[in-house]
């Protein structure tokens, strides 16, 4: 049976490592596991007990912040109706980190996050899997374009562009 105290410690360690990774990325540091462990105040063993790579740490940070953001929405029915819109708004709020990830060629973690958040679950029927994967990659493509354009458009401007293309 899992020990609640151990779970809290593990969660705290993961958060410490993730926050340290983002701090270092925002400082444009050459990120390494050793530097990350020093910054987070944890051992390399603690790092590898919780993560396999720095990319996994960044993915954990983005997902945990997304969960926090989504949980803070006043009406979660809106989130269920258009999760892609809210994901774009959330990502826009992470601009400094995403610029750093682009510079360090680490944007693959973002693709994984989009598939996890918007993609199909294991039990999704095949016909719906195509739809869910397609939507995940469509929204991911919009966000990648926003990143490549260095966020010159706000999410609202992107939504307006998409609505004008789709004839809404």
6 has a pLDDT exceeding 90: no
Grade residue 168 by pLDDT with cuts at 50, 70 and 90: low
- Residue whose C-alpha is closest to residue 15's, from 35, 33, 34, 41: 41
Q: What mean pLDDT is reported for the chain?
A: 90
| Residue keyed to tokens 């719906």 | 128
Q: At residue 3, what are phi and psi to the nearest 5 degrees?
A: -90, 125
pLDDT one-digit tens code per residue, 111-141: 988 888 888 888 889 889 998 899 899 999 9
Q: What is the mean pLDDT of residues 5-15?
A: 82
pLDDT one-digit tens code per residue, 26-66: 999 889 999 999 999 999 999 999 999 999 999 999 999 99
What ranges do the domains of the chain cover? 75-168
Burial of 112 (0-12, 13-18, 19+ CB in 10 A): middle
């Amino acid at each position: 049976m899992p020990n609640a105290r151990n779970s809290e410690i593990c969660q705290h360690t993961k958060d410490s490592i993730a926050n340290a990774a983002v701090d270092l990325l925002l400082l444009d540091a050459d990120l390494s596991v050793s530097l990350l462990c020093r910054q987070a105040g944890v051992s390399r063993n603690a790092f590898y007990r919780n993560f396999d790579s720095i990319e996994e740490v960044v993915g954990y940070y983005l997902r945990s912040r997304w969960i926090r953001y989504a949980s803070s929405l006043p009406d979660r029915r809106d989130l269920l109706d258009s999760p892609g819109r809210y994901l774009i708004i959330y990502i826009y709020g992470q601009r400094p980190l995403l610029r750093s990830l682009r510079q360090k060629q680490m944007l693959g973690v973002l693709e994984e996050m989009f598939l996890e958040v918007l993609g199909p679950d294991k039990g999704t029927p095949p016909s719906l899997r195509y739809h869910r994967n397609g939507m995940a990659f469509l929204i991911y493509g919009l966000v990648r374009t926003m990143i490549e354009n260095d966020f010159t458009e706000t999410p609202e401007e992107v939504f307006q562009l998409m609505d004008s293309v789709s004839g809404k």
